C-alpha cells in the first residue's frame, strides 16, 4: 500500500522504556499476560513468548503488593518494556515504579484524593515513567452516567478529560489515553472525538472483544477503521485466548494497512471448483512454517491458472496449482514445475534462499 494513503496524526511522543509511543514512532503492538503476576516463572515465560511473537510492550496485572514486589525479579529476566495495570490503590503504583516498571495504567480519579495523585505523579515524573489513563465504557463515573443517561462516547471522552486534568494540575504530561468499549461503533466514535480534543498519544483497542474468531473481527474493524483515519499510536487486541494470538492479530492488522513492513505477507485464493490441488492444506502449512520469518516479501499461494499465474507474478515468489502439480514462480518467472506433495517444501526452500 502506498504509505501516503494513511496520513497519521502526529501526537506527543511518550517514552516507555526503550520504546516511543506517539510522535514519529511506528505504531507499537501491546498485549497483556494472563498469568498470575506473583508466579514469576510463569509470567516471565509468557513475556518472552510475547516478545518472540513480535510484541513491543507487555502489561501485567498488579492486584496486590505481592504482585508489585514481583516486578523486580521479572525485570531481571526480561528486556521488553512492562506496564503495571493498577486499580484504586495508589500504593501499588508507587511500589511498581520503585521496582522498575516502565509505565503504569491507572485512572487518577480512582486512586484517592489530590495528595495521592500528587504523590504518584511526582514519582512518575522523577523517574520518567508515563501514565496511561484507561477509560472503559463499563466503568464510567456515576455522575457522568447520570449526565449522559448511559455509557456514551461523549461520556467516555468527558471521563478521560477529567482524568487528564487531574494529572495536568501537577504539570504531568507524559500521558497516553485509551477509551475502550466492547461496542465497536462506540469505541470508534469515542476515539474520533478525543482525537479532536487532545494531542496525547492514543492506545487503541476494543475491550472484551470475545474469542479469537469474533474478537479478531471486532478488533480489525474497530482498530483498523481508526488507523485508516490516522488515529492511534499503539494497539492492543483483546482476545479470550492465549495472548500470543493477540500479537498475531495486531501485527496482521498493521501489515494489512501497510503500517508494518517486517515479515512475510501471504496472499492466497479462496479456492473454487477449478482447483485441482489441496490448496487449503498447502496454504495453512506454508503460513505456519513462515509465521516467524522477518523477510519482507510477498508470497502468493494460488489454486489454478485463472488468477494464479498473474497473482504469483505480482508477488516476490509463489505457486500456482495445476492438476496435481504446481508452478513455482519467482520474480514473475517460472522456476519449475513441482509435484503437489513437494510444493510446500520447494516453496519454503526457495524462500530461505531469498
Segment 185-212, tens digit of pLDDT: 999 999 999 999 999 999 999 998 889 9
For residues 315 and 52, the model is more confident at: 52
Q: Give the rounded percent of residues in the chain with a pLDDT score beyond 90.
A: 64
pLDDT at residue 353, rounded to an integer = 84
Q: Which stretches of 200-305 are assigned E, i.e. beta strand?
A: 203-204, 234-236, 265-268, 298-302
**C-alpha to C-alpha distance for 267 and 302, rounded to whole angstroms:** 8
Position 109 confidence tier, pLDDT thresholds 50, 70, 90? low
pLDDT grade, residue 105 (50/70/90)? very high
**Choice between 95 and 294, residue whose per-residue pLDDT is larger:** 95
What is d(CA 183, CA 225) in angstroms, rounded to the nearest whole number? 14
Cell 498469568 belongs to which residue? 35
pLDDT, tens digit, for every residue of 243-256? 999 999 999 999 99
Per-residue pLDDT reduced to its tens digit, 147-195: 999 999 999 999 999 999 999 999 999 999 999 999 999 999 999 999 9
Cβ atoms of 97 and 68 within 8 Å: the answer is: no
Nearest-10 crossing angle of helices 184-197, 153-168: 40
Task: Please name each of the domains of the chain with its CATH number.
Answer: 3-256 (3.20.20.20), 265-352 (3.30.413.10)
Confidence of residue 6 (pLDDT cuts 50, 70, 90): confident
Cα–Cα nearest to 347, from 323, 308, 322, 318: 318
Say if CB 275 and CB 263 are below 8 A apart.
no
Average pLDDT for residues 82-96, to the nearest whole number?
94
- Which residues contact residue 1 at a Cβ distance below 8 angstroms, ignoring those fewer than 6 apart? 257, 258
Residue 2: pLDDT over 50: no
Mean pLDDT of the chain: 91
Cell (9 digits) for 117: 495523585
Asked if 338 and 328 count as a contact pair (C-beta separation under 8 A), the reply is yes
Supply the pLDDT for residue 312: 65
Note the pLDDT of residue 4. 56
C-alpha separations of 100 from 81, 90, 129, 309 in Å: 10, 16, 10, 54
Cell digits of residue 192: 474520533
Query: Where does 7-124 show beta strands of DSSP type E?
Result: 14-16, 19-21, 28-32, 57-61, 82-85, 103-106
DSSP assignment, residue 26? P
Banded model confidence at residue 76, pLDDT cuts 50, 70, 90: very high
Instruction: Give the pLDDT of residue 305.
Output: 64
107/25: higher pLDDT: 25
123-132, 263-272, 298-307: range with lowest mean pLDDT: 298-307
Nearest to 342 by CA among 329, 326, 322, 331: 326
Amino acid at each position: 500500500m502506498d504509505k501516503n494513503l494513511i496520513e497519521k496524526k502526529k501526537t506527543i511522543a511518550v517514552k516507555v522504556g526503550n520504546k516511543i509511543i506517539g510522535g514519529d514512532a511506528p505504531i507499537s503492538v501491546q498485549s497483556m499476560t494472563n498469568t498470575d503476576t506473583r508466579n514469576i516463572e510463569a509470567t516471565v515465560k509468557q513475556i518472552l513468548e510475547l516478545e518472540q511473537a513480535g510484541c513491543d510492550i507487555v502489561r501485567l496485572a498488579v492486584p496486590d503488593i505481592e504482585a508489585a514486589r514481583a516486578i523486580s525479579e521479572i525485570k531481571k529476566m526480561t528486556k521488553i518494556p512492562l506496564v503495571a495495570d493498577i486499580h484504586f490503590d495508589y500504593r501499588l503504583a508507587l511500589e511498581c515504579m520503585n521496582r522498575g516498571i516502565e509505565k503504569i495504567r491507572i485512572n487518577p480519579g480512582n486512586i484517592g484524593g489530590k495528595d495521592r495523585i500528587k504523590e504518584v505523579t511526582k514519582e512518575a515524573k522523577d523517574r520518567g515513567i508515563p501514565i496511561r489513563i484507561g477509560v472503559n465504557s463499563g466503568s464510567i463515573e456515576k455522575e457522568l452516567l447520570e449526565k449522559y443517561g448511559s455509557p456514551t462516547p461523549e461520556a467516555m471522552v468527558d471521563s478521560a478529560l477529567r482524568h487528564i486534568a487531574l494529572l495536568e494540575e501537577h504539570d504531568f504530561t507524559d500521558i497516553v489515553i485509551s477509551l475502550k468499549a466492547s461496542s465497536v461503533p462506540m469505541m470508534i466514535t469515542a476515539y474520533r472525538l478525543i482525537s479532536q480534543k487532545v494531542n496525547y498519544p492514543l492506545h487503541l483497542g476494543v475491550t472484551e472483544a470475545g474469542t479469537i474468531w469474533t474478537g479478531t473481527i471486532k478488533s480489525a474493524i474497530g482498530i483498523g477503521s481508526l488507523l485508516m483515519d490516522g488515529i492511534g499510536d499503539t494497539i492492543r487486541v483483546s482476545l479470550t485466548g492465549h495472548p500470543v494470538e493477540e500479537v498475531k492479530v495486531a501485527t496482521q492488522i498493521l501489515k494489512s494497512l501497510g503500517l508494518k513492513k517486517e515479515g512475510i505477507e501471504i496472499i492466497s485464493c479462496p479456492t473454487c471448483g477449478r482447483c485441482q490441488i489441496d490448496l487449503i492444506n498447502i496454504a495453512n502449512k506454508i503460513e505456519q512454517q513462515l509465521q516467524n520469518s522477518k523477510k519482507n516479501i510477498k508470497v502468493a499461494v494460488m489454486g489454478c491458472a485463472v488468477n494464479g499465474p498473474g497473482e504469483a507474478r505480482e508477488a516476490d515468489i509463489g505457486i500456482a496449482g495445476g492438476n496435481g502439480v504446481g508452478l513455482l514462480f519467482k520474480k514473475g518467472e517460472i522456476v519449475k514445475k513441482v509435484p503437489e506433495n513437494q510444493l510446500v517444501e520447494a516453496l519454503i526452500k526457495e524462500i530461505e534462499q531469498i
